[in-house]
A and B are shown apart, each in its own frame.
Chain A
Amino acid sequence: MHQEYTVIEGDFVNAGKASSSVKKTLKQLNVNPQVVKRVVVALYEAEVNAIAHAYGGKVLVDIDADKIKMVVADKGPGIPDIALAMQEGYSTARPEVRDMGFGAGMGLPNMQKNVDKLNVTSEVGVGTTVEMEVNFG
């Protein structure tokens, strides 16, 4: 099953729509609730990052019998030092983003903890792509 969503820069009102809809789908497919939570927490963090730190982008989701693959690809400033960005507490979030409850520098570490595979690629001045995989079994 393939699903696609668009996320828009600064659109915090709709941040989480993709994750919410994935949650409903996985529930219907009777995926273990603990696994569902890991999936949606990771996807939500990635979605918020594309909205908060980049100029929006696309969320691509592929669900098959034993796993889910998620790609959040944004157009944006990119991440100059991915290893640094992955560190707990590192954040460059703007005040508007902090006002929305984000900017703890825990999003990327949260993704890492919740998924079975995480791959972050980024080109400065072009954008960032976050690929994640979670096995259902």
Chain B
Amino acid sequence: MTLQSIVDKLGATVALGAERLDTEVEHAFASDLMSDVLTLKDTPVLVTGLCNVQTIRTCDMANLDVVVFVRNKRPTEDMIELAEDNDMVLICSQYSMFKTCGLLWELGMKPLY
């Protein structure tokens, strides 16, 4: 599915990368633990409640391009600047982690494990 369909399903706002919403994605991974994210061999959409510069750095190291922040957390200017260097897409969901994941599941997104 496209990132646009994720944004629509979640009624989300796009903090960065609105021009890249035609990107196709299939898998998602949800965690607030960055060391957990750093074990991934694949590059899924990251769903997280952790909204700080380390989220973006971790994505940089792990080659992840798309983050969905839950519970209306908004990336700061610092984060957006860093994410822009890596052509990332940052999406803000108003829903909790549980509901966000539920909706993405409904949409047909697949788990990594």
Chain A contacts to B: CB under 8 angstroms? 12-13, 15-16, 19-20, 23, 33, 37, 40-41, 44-45, 48, 100-107, 110, 113
Chain B contacts to A: CB under 8 angstroms? 32-36, 38-39, 50, 52-55, 57-58, 60-63, 78
How many Å from the CB of B103 to the closest CB on chain A?
23
From known contacts A12-B52, A110-B38, A110-B39, infer whether A101 and B61 are also in contact, taking CB-CB under 8 Å.
no
Can you name 5 A-B residue pairings with CB atoms under 8 Å? A20-B57, A48-B54, A102-B54, A106-B33, A110-B39
Most buried by A among B35, B55, B58, B60: B35
**Chain A residues whose C-beta falls within 8 Å of the C-beta of B78 in the assembled complex:** 13
**Chain B residues whose C-beta falls within 8 Å of the C-beta of A113 in the assembled complex:** 39
The distance in angstroms between the C-alpha atoms of A107 and B54, with both chains bound, is: 14
Q: Is the CB of A37 within 8 A of B62?
A: yes
Q: Is the CB of A104 within 8 A of B52?
A: no
**Chain B residues whose C-beta falls within 8 Å of the C-beta of A100 in the assembled complex:** 34, 50, 52, 54
Q: Is the CB of A23 within 8 A of B61?
A: yes
From known contacts A23-B60, A37-B61, A41-B61, infer whether A12 and B36 are also in contact, taking CB-CB under 8 Å.
no
